Structure 1
């Protein structure tokens, strides 16, 4: 399991290697990422300034409670809101950036496909597929954020568990969405994509968690986004290779038996 997890991280590292091999193509990916990142930062700054007032508004019932319960409740509420913000910011940034920058990211995806060798699809899934997928990602992000927010109210451990869970769940959502381009370009339907991802579930998680953690670094999301698009292509090709190898092994075993 750890080896598979870090193999997913390695896919992202390989994506960063594209900054050296294909700098011109990767630079194109900075433009939409920087625009959406500025909007996300503005929203998070606004949330930061309004967080104390928001916590007070959500917890008026604890004013008459004895110490230390008002402090505990306020801390849990703040942690829950921050955990929700981590999830929503990550998925919204990725969804909007992929939709706005679809032509740029298709060029990165194609370069990564060519670098991987083998048959390269003639075209990507298209702009409107990117829009539909982005809206679906935001919807899943909202549901996930509420679930993570509820975890924040778990006594004692909620304040630490909620942000950690937010990183893991949002990372997986990112990995699923980013890897979908390579599958969609091959005309692979949703159920078959889920089957392919189950074959590399720990690599998928490693890739997603690493991407999410880099998103948390100042300006990290901007420079990570092009690398994540390239890296997710390698991840998807790994899933296809694993499925192909499993199929060959299955046929060999059937012939032997």
Structure 2
């Protein structure tokens, strides 16, 4: 749980950072507003059409007597909307980051600059950065879709489907939100997609502590828009401390001084940033 608390601490620290840098906050809000309008329209359409979709998908239930037909399709309609909401929460960050790539990269660089030390730059042209971001987002979405189908099927199980499955859904959402947000800073450090996943899997509770509260907050209308700039800033701070602390980022949580000596737990298992960073991490 120490890692979970450290991850949540980075989220709070990022919000405080943009609170002190009003210009960066204003720039970071625009992509989220555009994405919010697009997603709101999609969810409204799903809300109106989910009942018809449930009826189309279950023709075998047409002859069921009342109240079983209504109860079954009502449950399926609600489940479809929950699945749509789950996908919206997870993909919101990917789409917002794609739309706002230049803005968020500038914000991430500003965080690095304000905290001192090196300010890594990708050195890629904008079109190439957009291509890499879109390609990696598709990779994330494919993984999320697989989890979504599995969780959707498990949702039909009595009790488990109404208790354990929603919790697992938020954990999946939180983990991939953390991956998408840290990608802004890690791409500038030449850390590839598979290496980023390996890095976050090796500190899964840290990633969940950062991402799960954010996934829950994104369920509240408009909150996602206002939290996105701070989430990017917090993810950059998290990556900076991963960089400095090496294998035990929890020891480099907000307000702590990382111990990079040879006696630190697990020291040396995380290579320095650059090509191959994270290759030695557990997969």
TM-score bracket for the superposition, by shorter chain length: 0.7 to 0.9
8 Å Cα contact 1:83-1:166 kept in structure 2:
no
Does residue 248 (structure 1) correspond to residue 248 (structure 2)? The answer is no
Change (3 A) 1:35 1:252: closer
Structure 1: gaps spanning 5 or more residues: none
Does residue 127 (structure 1) correspond to residue 130 (structure 2)? The answer is yes
CA distance in 2, matches of 1:251, 1:96: 37
The TM-score normalised by the length of structure 1 is 0.86
Q: Which moved more, 1:17-26 or 1:101-110?
A: 17-26
Shift of 1:232: 1.1
8 Å Cα contact 1:18-1:227 kept in structure 2:
yes
The TM-score normalised by the length of structure 2 is 0.79
8 Å Cα contact 1:51-1:78 kept in structure 2:
yes
| Number of the residue aligned with 1:210 | 213
Shift of 1:75: 4.6
CA distance in 1, matches of 2:148, 2:48: 20
Change (3 A) 1:115 1:242: same
8 Å Cα contact 1:5-1:203 kept in structure 2:
yes
Shift of 1:115: 3.5
> More helix by proportion, 1 or 2?
1
Q: Which moved more, 1:199-208 or 1:73-82?
A: 73-82
CA distance in 2, matches of 1:162, 1:239: 31
Change (3 A) 1:124 1:211: farther
Change (3 A) 1:209 1:124: farther
| Number of the residue aligned with 2:151 | 148
The RMSD of aligned alpha carbons is: 2.7
CA distance in 1, matches of 2:154, 2:123: 38
Count of aligned pairs = 253
Change (3 A) 1:200 1:63: same
CA distance in 2, matches of 1:35, 1:146: 28
Does residue 116 (structure 1) correspond to residue 102 (structure 2)? The answer is no
Shift of 1:91: 2.8
CA distance in 2, matches of 1:68, 1:249: 66
Change (3 A) 1:247 1:160: same
CA distance in 1, matches of 2:266, 2:31: 47
Does residue 101 (structure 1) correspond to residue 95 (structure 2)? The answer is no
CA distance in 1, matches of 2:197, 2:137: 17
Change (3 A) 1:146 1:85: same
8 Å Cα contact 1:80-1:153 kept in structure 2:
no
| Number of the residue aligned with 1:231 | 234
Q: Which moved more, 1:78-87 or 1:220-229?
A: 78-87
Deviations 1:15-55 (A, max 9, x none): 11123211111111111110111000000011111222222
The within-5 A match list for 1:12-23 is 12-23=11-22
Change (3 A) 1:251 1:73: closer
Shift of 1:107: 1.4
Q: Which moved more, 1:188-197 or 1:127-136?
A: 188-197
**For 1:49, what is the secondary structure of its paired residue?**
helix
Structure 2: gaps spanning 5 or more residues: 248-258, 269-283
The within-5 A match list for 1:24-63 is 24-63=23-62
